[in-house]
Structure 1
Amino acid sequence: TALMEARDLSVHIRAHRGVARAVDGISFEWRRGEILGVVGESGCGKSTLARALLGLVPAAAGAVARDGGPVDGKAALRDLRRHVQMIFQDPYQTLNPRQRVSTIVAEPLRVQGVPGAEHDERVRRAMGDVGLEPERFLDRYPHQLSGGQRQRVAIAAALVLEPEGLICDEPVSMLDVSVRAQILQVLIELRQRRDLALMFITHDLSLAWSLCDRLAVMYLGRIVEEGSAVDVIERPQHPYTRALVAAVPVPSAGARIREPLSGELPDATNIPSGCRFHPRCPRRFEPCDRVDPPLLTTPGPGQLAACLLHDPAHAPTEADVARD
């Protein structure tokens, strides 16, 4: 069953060049107990999507739902944040430098009105679950911690409310390579121990392939492909996904696909007409510059792709497809 859903969700951000459509009509579900990866280039809107799901940035249109019901109003949003927490990218900016670890980890309990008698037990359990001994770390300040330890504290603060899901926004990208695997292992063990759903926001396709059950590939504010992680990586159905796979060392997939991505990600204030990927697409054909495809059924089992190659009404011949 779905833990959360986005329903035609849009986020518009005012920029000096105009209004950026950072998230542009996205619909998907995040299922209980699964690890969902949201992948794409930097600037595609994936972090904005993560923040919009928890109401940290305002939606211009659409809705977020939990347990089938809309999250509308302060009470519903407060309830959502009790059940779904977020881990941010930068542990150096996440933690208040003036507070001890004990105060930082307990803060969500105070915000949510959890009785004070429960705080100590919950804080100690959360610290233990992320591999930090309470006796050694609760009285420390953030400047006394390494980057990996800071991220563990941030994870503990997200866990203390005993949520059903964690949204992890590039949780290891700011950490030294030596500690990235340790933090990822903490998250995987938490998923098993607490039956958590995890959403990984990442630009690292190799990481997504190794960790996730299902992938949603984002490009310029939209999901352009969705399916099981194995299928999306080994049998990508959208030209953008094919280009991403070709660019990274994913076992068994990169060796077969040779469609490198050319050009730069367009400005979200000036999205191309038709398929937004068509200016960079090696498989574009005549309708692509004027028809904006929805997510369509593909030959891949359970895979959806926003590409006219999978639209019977536009089925091109090989001669129609321009190859660079």
Structure 2
Amino acid sequence: MSASFSSLVKNIPSDLPVLIAGPTASGKSALALEIAETSGGVIVNADALQVFSNWCIVTARPSPEEEARAPHRLYGHIPGDQKYSVGHWLRDVRPLLNCGQRPIIVGGTGLNLTALTEGLADIPLTPQKIRAEGEALLSEGGLSALLSDIDPDTLARIDQKNPARVARAWEVQRSTGRGLASWQDATPPPLLPLNAAAPFVMDADRDWLRERIERRFDLMLDGGALEEASANLAEWDPKAPHAKAIGAPELIAHLKGEITLSEARDLAIIASQQYAKRQRTWFRKRMKSWQAITLPA
């Protein structure tokens, strides 16, 4: 931790909840641990993949040694085949906001953090039948087949070139008879308003971050990532929630003899760098009022 980071840490009131966002490999967990050890608190995971029990090394969860230095919550507590949404995470994090120790909430999943600080619309789950209907429409007619059924208010808010965003808006409209924008406008108050916390976002230089991502994956391989993948091979399901862990599909493909380990390494690093790019875009768009920590410091 740099001297400037140490100064930042010491100036955070010890009773104020802390939020730490940032792209993968930017040092979020190290900062959270520094804060916890300096002024106390429980470190709470806000990463959508570090919740799964069957991937520790590949998802860069804190090590047992790091967890022994401060209390950690919501890491590895969900089976890999179990669905775990933003709503599930909010329900799990709610009791930790008033547990007697100030929470230090850290993660790279921007939607979790914005749902926590801005609120989350209580939209019913989409029935599988309707999701399959939407997938068929998208496959047969492209985005225009879905866009034509979405209300104007929602169309004005979503990225109409993003298949996932369009599909989600269509599913909500089809399953509830109500537009996504209408649901969003009825969003309940947030569990932790931003003005009641100390929010930080890691603003990492692109080239600096790309090099860190590459080095970190090599450290993962040295630390047993391939062995971890081997332990998951027998029950591997590419459609399972845990299968989105970056590096997991690539290492599994190598274990199946489909690609070399060198190819798996390169593909995993590229996927991680692409993910970091998407994260940086999200944070700069949605977290303009958070205190930016420029990296490298």
Larger Cα Rg: Structure 1 or Structure 2?
1
Identify the structure with the greater strand proportion. 1
Whether these two folds match at TM > 0.5 is: no
Query: Which structure dedicates a bigger proportion of its chain to helix?
Result: 2
TM-score, reference length from structure 2:
0.25
